[in-house]
Structure 1
């Protein structure tokens, strides 16, 4: 259990550091400048960003819906294990840096008593964009490298991610 705790801590630190690395980008893919809240085109007809509903702290896609046994994973093809590993990693990266705030999707900054200000919404949007950029790069890397991984190690890590998420569910219910 001590090794699982240490791996969990390492993974949490890794996710936070790498997500922050991308947090310096101020322009979203849709052209919105997060600092000013305006469309980043050179025309004078810039539009204000209008966001009325607060976003969830934890993405609704940050859930493992099916848990597997060692036997079932051992019977899967390596390609299926790679895909499952990547899907589980997405969940971990989207959820772990925010678990001190919320452990389940649907909780908003308002639910936590955090002021629903433009600045707080920008901060959350910047973090979401940084996470997506990090995931995009990581997935590209993993799709090229994981096919060379040992199948048993893939099985072990998928089980590790699933156990970590089960533990998080237990903590969230306390």
Structure 2
């Protein structure tokens, strides 16, 4: 696996379990990268959907990927606080093309007061049947939903009070 360089701009590619490309984020700046952890940031970046439609993100975001976690976390800096969007996903890989992961539909939205909401359970069930997610994957994903909720409640990792702010300050040095 290639480890991107700090300060390098990369793309992020999200796939579905059946292998088709789901979404691409352009021009994302690497803030930290090791074999186990990648932290990136972007602001007003183009996102292209699998159907070719594209849109621009509205606010700065710090994204956290871990090679042993079946989720990734996006912390979005908005005027009224930090919102998190957490994707239940495969662990990431990096190659010469992009940082890549499989999106498994389930998401958790976390509000600035750290309340949260599990989203897209119906989409997950539909895709689990359509794409034949193996039982072992289903079990791993459900376990990681619980792990992610534990992290949120404990303010662990990207949910700690200073995590997003400190990485955003680092990101500003690259702009």
TM normalised by structure 1 equals 0.28
Higher relative helix content: 1
Higher relative strand content: 2
Higher relative contact order (CA 8 A, sep 6+): 1
